[in-house]
């Protein structure tokens, strides 16, 4: 079994809070990648949705678009 597979197996046994903490740690370690959105970005996206400039996706549509 690969090291990544072993880590996944171990992570699957963690509580939700522990998995969230682990996910934060891993995402934070990706250089040059941020995973946060500031208030201005939230307002801009909300305005796009409200004006029908863009269409929202359901969770199922999002998962399908991601190949899951």
Which residue, among 33, 10, 6, 30, has the nearest Cα to 18 in the 3D structure?
10
26 and 44, same domain (yes or no): no
Q: Between 62 and 35, whose confidence is greater?
A: 62
Q: Are 36 and 44 in contact (CB under 8 A)?
A: no
Mean pLDDT within 55-65: 92
Split into its structural domains, the chain has a count of: 2
Q: Please report the pLDDT score of residue 29 as a whole number.
A: 81
Q: Quote the mean pLDDT of the chain.
A: 89
26 and 12, same domain (yes or no): yes
DSSP string spanning the chain?
--HHHHHHHHHHTS-HHHHHHHHHHHHHTSTT------HHHHHHHHHHHHTTSS----HHHHHHHTT-
Both tokens of 34, joined, read 């941020």
* pLDDT tens per residue across span 24-50: 888 888 877 676 788 999 999 999 999
Judged against a pLDDT cut of 70, whether residue 4 lies above it is answered with yes
Q: Please report the pLDDT score of residue 33 as a whole number.
A: 66
- Write out the residue range of the structural domain in which residue 7 sits: 1-35
């Amino acid at each position: 079994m690969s090291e990544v597979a072993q880590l996944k197996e171990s992570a699957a046994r963690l509580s939700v809070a522990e998995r969230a903490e682990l996910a934060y740690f891993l995402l934070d370690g990706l250089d040059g990648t941020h995973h946060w959105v500031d208030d201005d970005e939230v307002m801009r996206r909300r305005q796009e949705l409200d004006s029908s400039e863009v269409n929202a996706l359901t969770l199922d549509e999002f998962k399908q678009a991601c190949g899951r």
